[in-house]
Amino acid sequence: MGVYSCSKVPITGRRQLSLIPETQMAGMSATAYSDFLSENPPLPESNSDAQRVKRVGLKISKAVDEYLKSKGREDLVENFVWEFHTVNDPTINAWCMPGGRVVFYTGILPLCKDDAGIAVVMGHEVAHAVAKHGNERMSQALGIQGAGQALSILTSEQPTTTRNLLLQSYGIGSQLGSLAYSRKHESEADKLGLVFMAVAGYDPRVAPAFWERMAAQSNGGKPPELLSTHPSDNTRIKDLQNFMPEALKYYKV
């Protein structure tokens, strides 16, 4: 069928299997992204919050291109068309779909505090897309039904089923759901995110403090949407700190 591919995640070198061509992922995500914005109109470009998010996003996207070019992995973003939007919603969340399509919710901005904090989130979310985590999750879901059915499912006359699978895989459920990445994916996104923000000129040492603020939001209750399936904990903060020397190699003051 021509839908199988095996690649390595940058930095970690972990091999992953993808059943879905990235061109198809990009096309599906473009439609889903447009649908989301139609239902959740973004803040106008003149809005200061929208400007901040876009400003940081553009720096991170340039850093991604620069980093991947240095590693000879430009292919990972060859189908990306970067977009950055902010929606007026108190939910503490942000996400990036295939192709570099990003949405920030105003609810997360107070926790970010400044551009560097936004860069922590932006780098982390963009890293999920660069590392093809969503494709991997969709492939796993399709694999349960049998790899041989993958292409027929995605090209069938069932747009609602395909759209829901895509949105669930990228953490954008019908209730603006929560991210559903595994701990393995989170660790990879944390590491890549630190590198991307460092290359972009943001001090990666602010990242642990941001995730501590995120964790504190739960107060022993339900965690923020961004952490609902993978609560921040001491292990995550420790891992970030352990990786910090590597990330700082890319930070030029």
Segment holding 40, helix H or strand E: none
By CB atoms closer than 10 A (0-12, 13-18, 19+), residue 248 is: middle
Segment holding 123, helix H or strand E: helix 115-130
Neighbours of 118 (CB within 10 A): 27
Q: Is 83 a catalytic residue?
A: no
Token match 């901005």: residue?
A: 109
Would you state the pLDDT for residue 54?
Answer: 98
What is residue 87's DSSP assignment? E
61 pLDDT more than 90? yes
Q: Of the residues 45, 66, 78, 125, which is catalytic?
A: 125
Please give the model's pTM, rounded to 2 decimal places. Answer: 0.79
Token match 């796993």: residue?
A: 140
Distance, in Å, from the CA atom of 210 to the CA atom of 153, rounded to the nearest integer, reads 40
Give the pLDDT mean for 173-192.
Answer: 62
Closest CA relative to residue 230, chosen from 238, 219, 241, 218: 218
Task: Indicate the pLDDT class of residue 177, thresholds 50, 70 and 90.
Answer: very low
Listed by start position, the domains of the chain span 22-133+179-248
Among 2-16, 91-105, 120-134, 203-217, name the one with the lowest average pLDDT.
2-16
Distance, in Å, from the CA atom of 195 to the CA atom of 87, rounded to the nearest integer, reads 27
For the segment 102-117, what is each residue's pLDDT rounded down to a tens digit?
999 999 999 999 999 9
